[in-house]
Structure 1
Amino acid sequence: MVGRSALGWTLVRVVFGLTLALGHGMSKVRGDMSQFAQGVAALGFPFPLFFAWCASLAEFLGGLLVAVGLFTRPAAAFAGFTMLVALFRHRADPFGRMELSLLYLTVMVAVVLAGAGPWSLDARVRRKA
């Protein structure tokens, strides 16, 4: 991946990572987790507060890591799994409610498959090793 395609992939990775982290994860991490944990419990998860924190951190920390391209594939895998659960949660909702989950899931799967690209901290660490 060189030139414009590297720039395009970096743009997708940064924008989706930051919007997931700042638009969705940060409000959960900084807010009252009890309401989100109730939603997690309604999905049938055991230890709903624990899994609510896992999902929130996958969105926030995972999104930040994807954006900067550090530990990118594992971060995208955790964030992608969280989006798969969100997609399941919204499966009976109108398409507009499930659309964001589907978009984030698709990009996170693509990141797992393609990696962070040459303009990432992962690539920088590999070059120094």
Structure 2
Amino acid sequence: MNISVLSHASVLSTHAGKALSLLRIVAGLMFMQHGAQKLFGFPAEAMGPFNLLSQMGIGGVLELVGGALIVLGLFTRPVAFILSGMMAVAYFQMHWQFGTASPFPLVNHGELAALYCWVFLYLVFAGPGEWAVDNQLSRRRRF
């Protein structure tokens, strides 16, 4: 086995916490866009009028606020758990039934819902990474 490959792997592993933070931040920013679209018609036009207390309205609030909390790394695990469940519901409720009722995300246009579901579920177990408000809060509680 090539020794240089092993040394590169250990160097890369030292940055795993930072990479996890970047995954969390980018996923949160992208997720927030869905909420902003539903609530404010930005950055893309809203898909239609909706009631804030409807399932779509509550989803928009969860996307915007939950996405912001994910970006900050604040309450990461519980928020990610809620958002993962929300995306699982979205997939089975909105996409599985889409047109052909196919279970394949590419066919039923559920790729984003499925991917967000799994990314958020990963954050439940992996935590927020190095750059997170959660880390600052846990350090303060130790002292």
TM-score bracket, shorter-length normalisation: 0.7 to 0.9
In the alignment, the residues of structure 1 paired with residue 50 and residue 95 of structure 2 have an alpha-carbon distance, to the nearest angstrom, of 14
CA 128–62 in structure 1, closer or farther in 2 if over 3 Å, else same: same
Pick from 64, 73, 76 the counterpart of residue 77 of structure 2: 73
In the alignment, the residues of structure 1 paired with residue 22 and residue 49 of structure 2 have an alpha-carbon distance, to the nearest angstrom, of 33
The structure with the largest alpha-carbon Rg is: 2
Matched, 1:127 2:131: no
Tell me what 1:62 maps to. 66
1:32-74 per-position Cα deviation (integer Å, ceiling 9, x unaligned): 797456xxxxxxxxxx934333211211111111111001112
Q: Aligned residues, how many?
A: 117
Q: Which runs of 5+ in 1 are unaligned?
A: 38-47
1:109-128 per-position Cα deviation (integer Å, ceiling 9, x unaligned): 01111211231000011112
Q: Is the 8 A contact 2:19 2:129 kept in 1?
A: no
Q: Which runs of 5+ in 2 are unaligned?
A: 1-12
TM-score normalised over the length of structure 1: 0.78
Percent identity, aligned pairs only, is: 35
Tell me what 2:38 maps to. 28
In the alignment, the residues of structure 1 paired with residue 40 and residue 126 of structure 2 have an alpha-carbon distance, to the nearest angstrom, of 31
Bigger helix fraction: 1
RMSD between aligned alpha carbons?
2.3
Q: Is the 8 A contact 1:25 1:56 kept in 2?
A: yes
Q: Is the 8 A contact 1:33 1:49 kept in 2?
A: no
